[in-house]
Amino acid sequence: MASTRKVPLRKCVGCGEMKPKKELIRVVRCEDGNFVLDATGKKNGRGAYICNSGDCLGKAVKSKGLERSFKQAIPPEVYERLEKEMNEIEAR
Ligand SMILES: [Zn+2]
């Protein structure tokens, strides 16, 4: 059996494209209802993924992709943190 390693793909809530997990930022809703950005992908809770891209963040805000994914309103500071996180990743 040839072992073709499958890269796990996740859908970006901004552009809607399927991408490898490591190219995406995971947004997690913890059990206490708080949202965190999960760089390690290991946190428990319901997660959504978004490309490391300001374009996708803008699209997600407009299309309410995160709201739809979590079926609830997303606090503005979650978007602010995402934006900050993306800027930091770009600066590396
Ligand atoms: Zn995207």
Q: Is the pLDDT of residue 2 over 70?
A: no
Residue with tokens 């309410």: 64
Q: Is the pLDDT of residue 43 over 90?
A: no
Nearest in space to 13 (alpha carbons), one of 62, 53, 48: 48
Pair of tokens at residue 51: 């490309």
Tell me what pLDDT residue 56 has.
97
Q: Is the pLDDT of residue 3 over 70?
A: no
Give 17 Cα–ligand 1 centroid separation in angstroms: 6
Give 44 Cα–ligand 1 centroid separation in angstroms: 23
What pTM did the predictor assign?
A: 0.86
Give 50 Cα–ligand 1 centroid separation in angstroms: 6
The rounded distance, in Å, linking the Cα atoms of 43 and 76 is 21
Ligand 1 is an ion; its neighbours by CB within 5 Å are 12, 14-15, 51, 56
Give 1 Cα–ligand 1 centroid separation in angstroms: 34
Tell me what pLDDT residue 91 has.
81
